[in-house]
């Protein structure tokens, strides 16, 4: 076990490196980087000031004058002096070759130095530390409630397969599967957050303005008051898949020979279900836990964060991509990847805890 755990932990390092390298190469090929963005702003808002630099000649992103054979250069830079473009490139670190920039980024990331945001005048660590509690709150509560709802419901549907309960609950599952979380969020806002009807819950943030002045019990109540609607919206939009996965997994296990043998020995249905079927059926559910948490942690909560005005990592990463704020993009990517790899390791360890017959260390020899 210890050797397997050590190998998995060491494997995280090259995996992170490979993911960063792949995304860095994609970023280099993507048009409209921060240099081009700044040049476009200068062209649109400060053409008069740019003209003072002598600007009819223009230049490319490396500060070289345009030549007659330069057909692929950034045309938005035409009219700006090469000196100004060179200063913009130096400001964003694009005055260095791409391999040197990547090597410097890896060196800094090894010490968890993610640099500074291009457009927010703050360090990436500060931005992530500020947004991380929001995303963790949504991810943990949503994952916990999704599993608490889906697993008992899936087991119940498997036990009562073909009954009216199975039929009516399947309608709820279909609705939850068909309607995305953010639409449920909008509906909850309209119904319960002062949109058109009731005003039982707040619309913005995870805490009230006077949160610091509240008692510990009051802080907990205020936090739960704010997080109720976004969590419900995410759970409603994600419980359907896990419910059907649980049901189908249990139905598959119930039809196997060892279940018939357990029944022939005189065990009750409850003993058969929870002492034999449960352990085997839950393996596939446990396998999907890391992916489910990451989905809820990032993509699943992105629009929810927007609907309920929550400043989480999902919204931060999305805004950074739109703004071409590369330090924030790579910083959030690093955090999400690291969390995903750690959760995958936790999933494997949980596998062995649920079913001691599974031995990853022996299989890897």
> DSSP label at 309?
T
pLDDT classification of 359: cutoffs 50, 70, 90: low
Q: Which residue is listed with tokens 């559910």?
A: 285
pLDDT for 70 beyond 50: no
E-strand ranges in 192-320 read: none
Of residues 364 and 331, more confidently modeled: 331
**What separation in angstroms does the CA of 44 have from each of 37, 38, 40, 79?**
11, 10, 6, 11
Q: Rounded CA gap, 204 and 34, in Å?
A: 31
Q: Looking at residue 182, what is its pLDDT? A: 81
Q: Which residue is listed with tokens 């805490």?
A: 207
Question: Nearest-CA neighbor of 321 among 308, 332, 307?
Answer: 332
pTM of this prediction? Answer: 0.71
Read off the pLDDT of each residue in 25-29 and give the average, rounded to a whole number. 80
pLDDT tens, position by position, 84-117: 777 777 777 777 788 888 888 888 888 888 888 8
40: alpha, beta or left? (left if phi > 0; alpha if psi -120 to 50): alpha
Q: Rounded CA gap, 56 and 42, in Å?
A: 14
CATH topology of domain 126-363: MetI-like fold (1.10.3720)
Burial 40-51 (b: 16+ CB within 10 A, else e): eebbeeeeeebe
Q: Domain limits of the chain?
A: 36-94, 126-363
pLDDT classification of 185: cutoffs 50, 70, 90: confident
pLDDT tens, position by position, 206-238: 778 887 788 888 888 888 888 888 888 888 878
Q: Rounded CA gap, 237 and 231, in Å?
A: 10
pLDDT tens, position by position, 291-327: 676 666 665 567 788 788 788 887 888 888 888 888 8
How many CB atoms are closer than 10 A to CB 67? 9
Question: Nearest-CA neighbor of 350 among 302, 271, 288, 266?
Answer: 288
Q: Looking at residue 45, what is its pLDDT? A: 54
Q: Give SS3 for 251.
A: helix
């Amino acid at each position: 076990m210890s050797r397997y755990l050590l190998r998995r932990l060491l494997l995280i390092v090259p995996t992170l490196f490979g993911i960063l390298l792949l995304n860095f190469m994609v970023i280099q090929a993507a048009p409209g980087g921060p240099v081009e963005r700044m040049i476009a702003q200068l062209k649109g808002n400060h053409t008069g000031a740019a003209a003072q630099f002598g600007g009819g000649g223009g230049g490319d992103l490396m500060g070289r004058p345009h030549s007659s054979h330069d057909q692929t250069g950034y045309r938005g830079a035409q009219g700006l002096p090469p000196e100004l473009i060179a200063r913009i490139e130096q400001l964003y670190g694009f005055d260095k070759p791409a391999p040197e920039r990547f090597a410097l980024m890896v060196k800094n990331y090894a010490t968890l130095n993610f640099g500074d945001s291009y457009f927010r005048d703050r360090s990436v660590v500060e931005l992530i530390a500020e947004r991380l509690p929001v995303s963790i709150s949504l991810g943990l509560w949503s994952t916990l409630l999704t599993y608490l709802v889906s697993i008992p419901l899936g087991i119940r549907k498997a036990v009562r397969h073909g009954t009216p309960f199975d039929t009516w609950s399947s309608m709820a599952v279909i609705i939850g599967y068909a309607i995305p979380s953010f639409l449920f969020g909008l509906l909850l806002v309209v119904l319960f957050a002062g949109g058109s009807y009731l005003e039982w819950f707040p619309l913005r943030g995870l805490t009230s303005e006077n949160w610091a002045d509240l008692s510990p019990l009051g802080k907990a109540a205020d936090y739960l008051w704010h997080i109720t609607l976004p969590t419900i919206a995410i759970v409603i939009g994600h419980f359907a898949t896990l419910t059907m996965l649980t049901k189908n997994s249990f139905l598959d296990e119930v039809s196997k020979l060892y279940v018939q043998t357990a029944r022939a020995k005189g065990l009750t249905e409850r003993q058969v279900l929870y002492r034999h079927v449960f352990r085997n059926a839950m393996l596939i559910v446990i396998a999907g836990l890391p992916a489910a948490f990451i989905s809820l942690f990032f993509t699943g909560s992105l629009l929810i964060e927007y609907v309920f005005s929550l400043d989480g990592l999902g919204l931060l990463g999305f805004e950074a991509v739109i703004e071409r704020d590369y330090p924030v993009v790579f910083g959030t990517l690093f955090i999400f990847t690291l969390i995903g790899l750690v959760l995958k390791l936790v999933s494997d360890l949980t596998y062995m805890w649920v079913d001691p017959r599974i031995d990853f260390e022996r299989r890897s020899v």
